[in-house]
């Protein structure tokens, strides 16, 4: 076990021995735990946004589960201990490589409810109502997470009851919250009161580090899922509670929408980069294709010789990000509903053509690539977990409620937050969503359609074996963070830790500005300003990347991002 004392916010939450719950069956004490940022493991590893969830995942590996089992248990635990983004009421994507070499991508993205329609967020004066698409009952798509857990379970080894039990215990007996979680819940109080008529357990005058969060309603929902499987969520009591909640707040998710929800296995989006095989998520996530476009636009340009964080490298990557995101706005959406020209957009000749107006001496204004409008930027919250085992199974899962705590609505009596994923559709052509991303016909709202995502769970294979398992939250910044993390490793030869921890940047075509993280080299910023680049306000953190890299000796180097309470566990 390797601790990084300076980087890991190592904390020990006050222990309440009288509260020892059965959740410790896997050696986990939810009232006293520390955050481990890095580990090198022999048998398997889990990296996620919360130390308790990572520990649950490793406990499943130790009991003979494989990486799929561990990923399921970790997601369920995150739904309890990381309510910002861990979820039952949201959706996600899984990219996996099985021990037998089979590659999977599983889509459990939310779907637009049956009563949804293209103009549902446009008022009588023609104004886009982002207040309705971003918060409250009408912002929720039909949740996909529980269907996704069961669809992936066919590749697991342990019974589902065993995988869900730690989450039930964490919800029922509670766990101690961290300082960051206390802060986050305190900031949420006004919204909780605004978007709920039945006050959830998260409402409290003041949360502080070490407080125990018990979620009895959520524990009961988890038990229904344990006892009745997928139907324990999409039918019966849980469905009734969701539909009742919708009625209380003017939402439109119906019994039929819930019953009809399906998770879909899709063909992974694959490409090669200098001999590495990169496996990502296809539509309805833009992540795999954007990563493909960005990597291919730099492949022939010897970026390694330019040097990490050099003016030349950052300017090239910025221009590549700008061009890929311009294509996202125009062409990308749910391919079940819109013909996304994936082959054309990833064609090498097309991508070289795309770089024809690239000028290493100055910025290419976004208006020269496609016409645009000014946009706003907002908060980004999603969560990623990476899992690997010694049987050659590797799993990358990114899952989300969209915004932090989603719609801010907790299903009364069921204890979980609903997503606000409808805002990831283009609610009106040219009107930015909460990430400032624009879209048009390709990503217009339609009943049953899945909203375009940026989530980029990614595997890199070397000689056909798992080499890197990676992903991050961060809305539209997700693909650019994965792009930079991979370039840091594959081109700049960095350790996994440096690749994740070094300051990042982000350009998404519109708004035409470069977002930079604290620590971005000041001299590069000044030089780029002279070249015509505009800079957004600096951010203290971009993304929370969770990575596992297979070392030459076969051990697993697992690194959790320093930008949150994220934790790496292994054995
Ligand atoms: N909700 C963020 C995304 O899917 O990209």
Q: What does the block give as tokens for 543?
A: 């993304």
| 16-71 pLDDT, tens digit each | 434 445 454 567 999 999 999 999 999 999 999 999 999 999 999 999 999 999 99
Pocket of ligand 1 contains residue 165 by CB under 6 Å:
no
Q: How far apart are CA 289 and CA 276, in angstroms?
A: 16
Question: How remote is the C-alpha of 245 from its chain's centroid?
Answer: 26
For residue 522, what pLDDT is reported? Answer: 98
Residue of 1, 458, 53, 523 lying closest to 269 (CA atoms): 458
Catalytic residue among 130, 145, 382, 409: 382
Q: How far apart are CA 542 and CA 254, in angstroms?
A: 36
- Taking the CA atoms of 297, 493, 508 and 280 in sequence, report the sign of the dihedral they define: positive
For residue 21, what pLDDT is reported? Answer: 52
Question: What is the reported pTM?
Answer: 0.94
Q: 419 vs 73, 141, 504, CA distance in Å?
A: 21, 7, 27
| 76-135 pLDDT, tens digit each | 999 999 999 999 999 999 999 999 999 999 999 999 999 999 999 999 999 999 999 999
Pocket of ligand 1 contains residue 424 by CB under 6 Å:
yes
Query: Who contacts 275 (Cβ-Cβ below 8 Å, separation ≥6)?
Result: 462
How many Cβ atoms from other residues are within 10 Å of residue 351's Cβ? 23
367 part of the active site: no
Q: What does the block give as tokens for 427?
A: 């609610």
* Ligand 1 nearest-atom number relative to CA 400: 1
479 Cα to the center of ligand 1, angstroms: 11
Contact status, residue 547 vs residue 470, Cβ threshold 8 Å: yes
For residue 6, what pLDDT is reported? Answer: 35
Pocket of ligand 1 contains residue 380 by CB under 6 Å:
no
Between vectors from CA 174 to CA 473 and to CA 457, what angle results, nearest 5°?
20
**Positions of the chain with pLDDT lower than 50, given as ranges:** 1-11, 13-20, 22, 24, 371-379
Query: Which residue's alpha carbon is nearest to atom 2 within ligand 1?
Result: 475
Q: 307 vs 23, 485, 488, CA distance in Å?
A: 48, 14, 10
Query: Who contacts 262 (Cβ-Cβ below 8 Å, separation ≥6)?
Result: 147
Residue of 175, 231, 218, 213 lying closest to 79 (CA atoms): 218
Residue 19: DSSP 8-state: G
Look at domain 266-382+455-557 and name its CATH class: mainly alpha
Q: How far apart are CA 263 and CA 150, in angstroms?
A: 9
Contact status, residue 35 vs residue 8, Cβ threshold 8 Å: yes
Residue of 298, 354, 300 lying closest to 327 (CA atoms): 354
* Ligand 1 nearest-atom number relative to CA 109: 4
- Taking the CA atoms of 273, 277, 283 and 285 in sequence, report the sign of the dihedral they define: negative
For residue 447, what pLDDT is reported? Answer: 98
DSSP-derived 3-state class of residue 453: strand
Pocket of ligand 1 contains residue 90 by CB under 6 Å:
no
Between vectors from CA 385 to CA 513 and to CA 221, what angle results, nearest 5°?
115
For residue 284, what pLDDT is reported? Answer: 98
For residue 18, what pLDDT is reported? Answer: 40
Question: What are the residue ranges spanned by the domains of the chain?
Answer: 36-113+128-262+384-443, 266-382+455-557
């Amino acid at each position: 076990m390797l601790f990084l004392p300076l980087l890991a916010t190592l904390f020990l939450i006050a222990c309440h021995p009288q509260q020892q719950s059965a959740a410790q069956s896997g050696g986990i004490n939810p009232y006293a735990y520390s955050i481990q940022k890095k580990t090198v493991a022999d048998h398997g590893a889990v990296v996620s946004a919360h130390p308790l969830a990572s520990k649950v995942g490793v406990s499943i590996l130790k009991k003979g589960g494989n990486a799929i089992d561990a990923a399921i248990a970790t997601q369920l635990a995150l739904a309890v201990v990381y309510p910002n983004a861990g979820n039952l009421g949201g959706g996600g994507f899984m990219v996996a490589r099985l021990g037998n070499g089979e590659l999977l991508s599983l889509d459990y993205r939310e779907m637009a409810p049956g009563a949804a329609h293209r103009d549902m967020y446009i008022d009588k004066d023609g104004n886009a109502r982002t207040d309705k698409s971003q918060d409250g009952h009408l912002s929720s798509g039909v949740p996909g997470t529980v269907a996704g857990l069961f669809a992936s379970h066919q590749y697991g080894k342990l019974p589902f009851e065993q995988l869900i039990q730690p989450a039930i215990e964490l919800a029922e007996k509670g766990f101690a919250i961290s300082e960051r979680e206390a802060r986050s819940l305190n900031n949420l109080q006004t919204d909780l009161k605004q978007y709920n008529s039945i006050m959830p357990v998260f409402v409290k005058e003041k949360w502080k580090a070490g407080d125990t969060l018990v979620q009895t309603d959520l524990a009961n929902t988890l038990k229904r899922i344990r006892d009745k499987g997928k139907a324990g969520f999409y039918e019966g009591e849980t469905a009734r509670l969701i539909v009742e909640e919708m009625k209380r707040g003017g939402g439109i998710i119906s019994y039929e929408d819930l019953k009809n929800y399906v998770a879909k296995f899709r063909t992974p989006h694959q490409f090669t980069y200098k001999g590495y095989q990169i496996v990502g998520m296809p539509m309805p996530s833009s992540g795999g294709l954007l990563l493909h476009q960005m990597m291919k636009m730099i492949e022939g340009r010897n970026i390694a010789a330019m040097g990490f964080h050099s003016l030349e490298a950052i300017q090239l990557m910025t221009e590549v990000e700008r061009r890929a995101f311009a294509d996202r706005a125009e062409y990308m959406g749910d391919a079940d509903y819109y013909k996304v020209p994936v082959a054309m957009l990833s064609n090498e000749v097309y991508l070289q053509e795309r770089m024809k107006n690239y000028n290493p001496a100055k910025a290419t204004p976004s208006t020269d690539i496609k016409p645009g409008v000014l946009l706003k930027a907002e908060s980004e919250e999603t969560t990623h977990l990476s899992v690997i085992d010694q049987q050659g199974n590797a799993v990358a899962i990114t899952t989300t409620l969209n915004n932090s705590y989603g719609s801010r609505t907790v299903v009364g009596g069921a204890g979980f937050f609903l997503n606000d994923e409808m805002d990831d559709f283009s609610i009106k052509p040219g009107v930015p969503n909460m990430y400032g991303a624009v879209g048009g016909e390709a990503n217009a709202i339609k009943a049953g359609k899945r909203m375009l995502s940026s989530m980029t769970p990614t595997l890199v294979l070397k000689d056909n074996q798992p080499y890197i398992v990676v992903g991050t939250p961060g809305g539209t910044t997700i693909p650019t963070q994965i792009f930079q993390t991979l370039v840091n490793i594959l081109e700049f030869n960095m350790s996994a830790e440096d690749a994740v921890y070094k300051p990042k940047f982000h350009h998404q075509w519109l708004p035409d500005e470069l977002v930079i993280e604290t620590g971005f080299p000041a001299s590069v910023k000044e030089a780029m300003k002279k070249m015509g680049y505009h800079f957004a306000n600096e951010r203290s953190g971009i993304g929370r990347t969770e990575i596992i890299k297979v070392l030459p000796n076969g051990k697993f180097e697992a690194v959790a991002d320093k930008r949150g309470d994220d934790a790496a566990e292994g054995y």
